[in-house]
Each structure stands twice: as C-alpha cells, then as structure tokens.
Structure 1
Amino acid sequence: MSDSSPSTPDQTAVDRALIDAVQLGMPSTIADLSALVRIPSVSWAAFDPAHVQSSAEAVAALAEATGVFDSVRIARAAIGDTEELGQPAVLAHRAARNGAPTVLLYAHHDVQPPGRDEDWDTLPFEPTVVGDRLYGRGAADDKAGVMAHIASIRALTEVLGDGFDLGLALFIEGEEEFGSRSFETFLAENADELRADAIVVADSGNWDDVTPALTVSLRGNVTFRLTVRPLEHASHSGMFGGAVPDAMLVMIRLLSSLWNEDGSVAVEGLTSREGMTPDYDEAQLRSETGLIDGVQPIGAGSLLSRIWWQPSITVTGIDAPTVANASNTLIPEVSVRVSARIAPGQSAAEAADAIVRHLEANAPFGVVPTIDDIDTGNPFLVDTSGPIVAATKRAMADAWGVEPVDFGVGGSIPFIASLVESFPDAEILVTGVEDPHSRAHSPNESLHLGVFHRAVLSEALLLARLSSR
C-alpha cells in the first residue's frame, strides 16, 4: 500500500523522517492489527471473557515492546459500588521530562458481537484485505485506534529515540462496547497515571476517505430494555384474538408512540440544539448508509442536524418468537432493546426520565410496562480554543494535505464526559481512524488503509511537535 503524504516546503527534517518511519512501518502495523482482529474480544456478558483477557495481554505486549513506558500493566476496576469487576484494560505510563506536556492516548480493544457469519462477505474474525480495505470485526472500531497509538509511538521512537521528553499515558479499555461500566471507578483508582495535558481519543471517524475530521460534538445515549406482559400465559389466537391484547400488539402500539409521522422523535422533554452543519446532501447520505432507492430519509431539518443536533430513538433488538417458530398464539410477553441518542446540551438523566414518563403514559390497554437495564451517557461538546487542539488540526492538515473538518457525530462515547469531569484542565481531542464506509458495529466492518495510514501520521506528527515544546 502506497499512501505517501504530500511534501511541502514547510516540512522539517523531523517531519520528513516521521513520514518515512510511518510509511515503512505500515506492513508490520497492519500485521499486528490483523493479529488483534483475530481475537474475538466481545465484552458483552453472554460471550467468553477469556477472549477479552487474551486481547488485553496482546495489547500489553505491544505497548511493552515499544520500550518507551516506565510501566505497563493490565488492570480491572469494580463496577460502581458492586464487587463485580469490569473487563481488563491496559494501562501504560511514561513520565514527562524537562517540563514537556503529557498526552493520554485512549482506545478500546473490545469489540461488538459479530452477528451472523452469513451476513459477512468474509469471516468476521479472519482479517481480510480486499482492495484498499481491511475487513473484520474491530478492524476499524477500535483496534485500529489501538494500533494508531502503537504505530505513532513506534515512529516517534524511531525518529527521536527513546529519550524524548513527552510524557505518555496509554489507556486501552476493555469494555467500551458494553457500556464502560467500570470506567469511572478506573479513573478514580488510576488518576495519577492518567492525568494529562491532552487526551487523544482515537475512536471516531473522518469526513470521507480523503478529508480528516476532528470530532467536536457527540450525542449522548440512553439504552434500556422495555418489556410488556399483558397475559399470564399464551392462548390460542383464533379462540381469543380480537378480545384479548397480546404482547406484540401492545409493544407495537407503544413503540409507535415514540415517533411522529415523519420519523422524528415524539417524546416530550427530549430537546434539540441549534448548530451549523456542512453541506451534506441526500445522495451522500444514501451512499454512506445504503438507503434503498425509493425509501425516504426521516426527520426534519438539515440532514446533518438530524444526526448531530437532534435526538433519535432506535429499537436494536427484540425477544419474541421467530418467524420459523411462530404458532397461532397470543404471545404473553415481549421485550425489546431501545437505544436513544440525546442531543448535546441535555443531560442523559433528564432524557431518561422523559422517555420513561412517555412510555408509562402511552402504554395501551392498561398494560404497565417494565423498563430496566438502563445505561446512560452524557453528550459532549469540545472546547476548540486550546493550543493543543490547534496543533492537532495542523498535524492533520500536514498528514492529509487537506484542512480538517470540525465534525459532529450522531453516535455516543459516553465516557468522554467522565474524562472531562475527572480531568477538567485537559484538552480533549476526539480523532478518527474510520471513514463513512467503515460500517462499525455492522457486518462487513472495514478499515480504509489509506485513512489509517494518514491517521497514524497525524498522531506521530502531533506527538513529536508536543515533545519539542
């Protein structure tokens, strides 16, 4: 893969050496990334935690092999006030020297469940290069983020040696895809090792495969299980259908109350935000999402405002008889998993209360819904006025040859609000290894290798420049 960055008269000798180091290191970087992708490190409760442990051990070995850290360890923390431990994370630390700043590099090594193998064109845990993309679960989200940090440190060390002044903290989480349940405890227990002047979160995207982006806003999230049980037991649908409300009827009616006719959210108390958005037309939306011809987008306002600045509600799973196992039965109970995204400016707790009130008020036929297993994460807005943010944008422009876009993201990274609360003086830099066609969380997840190369170079340039301050 050749993806050399543009040469400019302003490049220093260190810049040019970093460009060469990143380029020459890409084959081994991609090989190491592929080895991580082969580990099925799904952090969800229903999956084998041994794989997450194996993934943590592999990441720790990569960090140790850089030779720059004073300490590298695998650590776990309690989930809230319970005795249950969260999934293993990797924590490495190097003290700053001669007054240089410290940068915390964050990514996560756990992945989403793969879904059905038949929905993939390649096996989900067998990394496969097709054209300029590497396919596999976690290839983009977020094992590429892990390797962006490792590869940039390798390049930095090759060019500056291991005596550079920059302080580094590396935090590779093991349960981001399962709600970061032990995150706040982990921050509190390891605050001294995690404290930094800047925090680079390599877990977002870019405007497209030739234009970088710095994520400056994220929606929050409220996820929960919704259950309705109108019957004590199943009954024959022909004998009693038409007089007795079954669980599917109740659930369909209740869920339909969540949206207006145009598909926008109809929950009183969920707020939107006013904000600028770049030009983004329906053709680009269709290209990036696979929206089928003839199917219309939902919502109101500009397309990006619907994704960045407005709430949304999605049903992501349902427990009910499958079509293959369907019988002529009035179903007594149905459960669904609901994922709501919250606009910046509203707290997740306030949004959760509004959704619960709506569901309780709109349940039909006197059914009392059960709402449990609630997870929340607050939205996030970046302060872009700091000098390290400016340095990051300059590094991106130099690595990509294109000025970066300030980017809003419809998805959520709930722990960022916790980082801000724990380290209020740190500048937060949400960077990305993905592009709009990466399909994170979906079948055929992939990483654009050119985007990955430029993301590594951006970070290497930034670290070198911060070290020289």
Structure 2
Amino acid sequence: MTSRIEALENAAAAFDAGDFETHLAGLVAIPSSSQDPARAADLGRYLQQGIGPWLDALGFHWELHPNPKPGVGPILLAERLEGEDLPIVITYGHGDTVRGMEAQWSAGRTPWELRREQHPDGARWYGRGSADNKGQHAINLFALEQVLQARGGRLGANVKLVLETGEEVGSPGLRDFVAAHAARLAADVFIASDGPRVTPTTPTLATGTRGNYHFDLVVAPRQGGVHSGHWGGLTTDPVIVLSHALACIADRNGRILVEGWRPAPLSPEIKSMLAGCPVDMGGAAATLEPGWGEPGLSPAEKLYAWNSFIVLAMLCGAPEAPANALAPRAHAHCQIRYVPQTDPETLMPALRAHLDAAGFAEVKIENPRIGMAGSASDANDPWVGWAVASMARSLGHKIQHIPATSGGMPGNVFQDHLNTTLIWIPHGHNGCQQHGPDEHLLVAAAREAVLAFAGLWWDLGTPETAEGAPPRRGR
C-alpha cells in the first residue's frame, strides 16, 4: 500500500515531469476574461472544455448552472461523494480573469499562452490566470489527482467544488447561487486558494479576508466653472475644500483619523500570530515604508489586522487641458480595506459625523457600497489546527497563519450560508502582477503548493485512529 511519503514523492515527480504544466497551459489558453464582453462565450468554454473533462477523470459529477444574475458567466457545481459518514470539504475557485491587456505584455509574452522563463529568483510561468486564479485551483485539483492515483481511486472523503466565472467583476450571483444550493453544498470545512502568500517562500494559511468598501466624496458648489481671474479668491474652489476634507480623514502619513474606522487594539493572540511575520516587497513597483500607516504596528499587523484608507481616483477640471476657471466640481473615489471585525454599516455614519464635526458639511458622500465583504473564522478552530499541522508535516517548515488576507475574496458567501470554517491557502505572491501585464506564477511555489495540498487531501481521507485524521463534528 502506498504511504503518505510515497504519495507526496509521486506528486512531486509528476509535477517535475511537466504534467501540471500541461494542465495549466490548456487552461491559460482559454481567454476567459469576465471584464471583456467579447470573451463571454469563453467563460462557459473554460468550465465545459477546460475543467469538465478533468473533473470527469477525477470521478466528479458536475453541472453547469446559469448565473442568477443576467449577463454574468455561469457557475460550475461538482461533487465527488464516497460516503455519508466521511468528512466533506468544499472548495472554490474562479475561472475568469481580468482583461488580457495584450498590447502591454513584454516582448515574447502573450496573455493566452503559457510561457516558462528562468529568472534570478527561479522559474516562472507567464500567462493570464496563471496566478489568479486558474493556477491556484489547478494546483489543488492536480494534488487531488495524485492522491487518488496513490489510493487506487478512493480518497476516503467527500469533495464539493464551486467554480465561478464572475469574480473579477465582483462575484455577482454567487451569493444567490450558494444560498439556493445551501443544503447540497453543506460541508465540514471550506478550503480554497486565492491571493498571495506573505512572501513567495512562506507557505501561508488565512482564516479570513479583509473586506473592501467604496464611496465617493463630492464638492459641487456651482453648476458651471467661473473665470479664475474674476472669481479666484472670492468663491469656493471645490478641490481645495475636498483636499482639506481628505486630510482630516487621514494624516500626512496615512494614519486613519476617523475614530469609528479604527479597529480595537490588537489582541495578544493576533500579535502573537503575526510576530515575526514577513511581508513580501512585491518587486520594484512599491516600497514598504515603516512610517506610513498606523504607528506602533508592524507591517504584517497593518496589512492583515488593521484598516486602511485609500484614494483610488480624484478629479477636478481637466489636467491635460486646464482652463482659466474655478471648476464646478471636485470628486474623489475612495476605498476602505477593513478587517472582518469592522461592521461596514458603521463606516459611513462615522465618516459623516467626522466630516460635520470638522466643518465639512458641504462634502457629500455618494454611492457607498461594499465591494466584497470581510469574513473570518475562529483561529483556534480544530480544522485550522489540523490544516496547519498537515502542511507543516508535508513541507517540513513553519506555516505562517494570518487572521485575514490583505485582498478581498468571497469567503463570506460560504460562511454566511453554509456556516463552515474558512481556510484559505494562497499560492500566489505580491509581485505576480495578477491584474496587470506579465502575470506569472512561481514554479517553486507551485511545486510546494502541490505537496501541501497532496498532504491535505491524503490526511482528509485518513481514518480517525491514525495520525493526522481530520476533526469530526456534526454539520
């Protein structure tokens, strides 16, 4: 009988032989961009032709469902059921990508063809979706394939999969879909992969995600522009007012000044969890600045356990063709990245009170909305401890546990309707350029991820009496 060690060795050998690369190349070749209306047919094609035959070979029963929201890509639901008395894991991924941005890729690279290149930090696979999210859910399926082969086609557990094609446009319809199929999707634990590790070489497990909240700030004192010579110094310049309003929301170093937006002081448990946690620099695109943001917090605490305020866009007049006029309107589109403990319903009332108290009653708050809600599971849940121990046993070194990923993901949908523990195990890294040209997946990180998930799949089907058995509890 194949042992756990042999199963992981076989998975590594299959990866090294190019089997995974072949799978990933086929998936990347399907231009399934949900942000490009011309690619709408490719969303269904990705699920039916890219993923469906693979699921057939793995013993899944799968179905393609129309999205509950018109005009959004379909959703795949797959089940691999071996017995009612066995543990059930539900996993998730998204087969859609952002736009290809074909003209912006470096010479020799195209978004819809997987290309392997060697770099000083190791080999990379370039291609749209290689990191977000085709490569990540493909890693998990490839690891499952290797364990099934090692066990003669039987896992010893049940697996359910939801694969959507609308995540890059905000996952419309996913909540309605999960709610409608909640009984069928019931599971002991949610384990899926998206987003970046804390560093490329640090295996990471997150038990939640920060949410993101959007709103506009508008100052519009008049219907039209007025001559700057005749009216400058006499009437309101909206961009000056808006700039001062923004400055009262966050100080010169980005520290949030709205009291209702500041989380409670970090608990000893969170501080211990993040002690020594590294933060990926993500290449040369940005520099980690210790003095930016909340004083007294480490970079990891700011990123994974605190709220941040960002101005995504700001407009007044036409900078490319300025007129000698005071503009009639200034407009800023803003975002809050918030930890799951923050109630998003309190964000705008707190801002309104703060602006009024600071003398900015004329600043309007418009279009407030949640982009993607935050979510969190108990860091001490038995499933979390089981997953961390399994990964450490497979990889032979520390697993970095974080309370929430820095970016948004739709875990809240599964938590709200299935009441299941959330475990995210990301395989990307901050420098993967997932929403820009030259998106790539690090080959070494992907290989390590295959081993981690092969161990998880193996341990999921381990009898209760053996080491590494999964927790058992009623659903």
Change over 3 Å in CA distance of 1:181–1:355 after alignment to 2: farther
Contact 2:68 2:176 in 1 (8 A): yes
The alignment status of 1:110 with 2:85, answered yes or no, reads: no
Change over 3 Å in CA distance of 1:332–1:60 after alignment to 2: farther
Deviation at 1:356, TM superposition (A): 4.7
SS at match of 1:107: strand
Task: Give, in whole Å, the separation in 2 of the partners of 1:184 and 1:200.
Answer: 18
Deviation at 1:20, TM superposition (A): 1.4
State the partner residue of 2:397: 402
The alignment status of 1:314 with 2:310, answered yes or no, reads: yes
State the partner residue of 1:151: 142
Task: Give, in whole Å, the separation in 2 of the partners of 1:266 and 1:44.
Answer: 35
Deviation at 1:264, TM superposition (A): 0.7
Deviation at 1:403, TM superposition (A): 2.2
Contact 2:195 2:407 in 1 (8 A): no
Change over 3 Å in CA distance of 1:357–1:374 after alignment to 2: farther
State the partner residue of 2:6: 16
Paired residue type of 2:193: A
Residues 377-401 of structure 1: per-residue CA shift (max 9 Å, x gap): 4433332444433332233123322
State the partner residue of 1:297: 292
Residues 167-211 of structure 1: per-residue CA shift (max 9 Å, x gap): 111111222233223222111112233211111121133233333
State the partner residue of 1:451: 445
Which deviates the most, 111-120 or 98-107?
Answer: 111-120
Unaligned runs of 5+ in 1: 1-10, 79-83
State the partner residue of 1:5: none
Task: Give, in whole Å, the separation in 2 of the partners of 1:351 and 1:289.
Answer: 33
State the partner residue of 2:336: 340
Task: Give the share of equivalent positions with the same residue, in percent.
Answer: 22
State the partner residue of 1:278: 275
SS at match of 1:205: coil
State the partner residue of 1:129: 116
The alignment status of 1:91 with 2:77, answered yes or no, reads: yes
Task: Give, in whole Å, the separation in 2 of the partners of 1:236 and 1:293.
Answer: 43
Contact 2:428 2:441 in 1 (8 A): yes
Change over 3 Å in CA distance of 1:449–1:285 after alignment to 2: closer
Task: Give, in whole Å, the separation in 1 of the partners of 2:411 and 2:193.
Answer: 12
State the partner residue of 1:240: 231
Which deviates the most, 52-61 or 217-226?
Answer: 52-61
State the partner residue of 2:471: none
Using structure 1 for the length normalisation, give the TM-score.
0.83
The alignment status of 1:254 with 2:245, answered yes or no, reads: yes
Deviation at 1:433, TM superposition (A): 0.6
Change over 3 Å in CA distance of 1:264–1:295 after alignment to 2: closer
Contact 1:60 1:73 in 2 (8 A): no
Task: Give, in whole Å, the separation in 2 of the partners of 1:87 and 1:355.
Answer: 36
Contact 1:93 1:193 in 2 (8 A): no
State the partner residue of 2:413: 418
Paired residue type of 2:89: V
State the partner residue of 1:388: 383
State the partner residue of 1:199: 190
Task: Give, in whole Å, the separation in 2 of the partners of 1:180 and 1:293.
Answer: 30
Paired residue type of 2:117: V
Contact 2:218 2:332 in 1 (8 A): yes
Deviation at 1:269, TM superposition (A): 0.8
The alignment status of 1:176 with 2:164, answered yes or no, reads: no
Paired residue type of 1:15: I
Which deviates the most, 254-263 or 240-249?
Answer: 240-249
Deviation at 1:12, TM superposition (A): 6.2
Deviation at 1:165, TM superposition (A): 3.4
The alignment status of 1:369 with 2:369, answered yes or no, reads: no
Paired residue type of 2:232: G
Task: Give, in whole Å, the separation in 2 of the partners of 1:36 and 1:321.
Answer: 44
Contact 1:222 1:376 in 2 (8 A): yes
Deviation at 1:239, TM superposition (A): 4.4
1:190 to 158, 177, 181: 181
Contact 2:256 2:262 in 1 (8 A): no
Change over 3 Å in CA distance of 1:229–1:35 after alignment to 2: farther
Change over 3 Å in CA distance of 1:414–1:458 after alignment to 2: closer
Paired residue type of 1:367: E
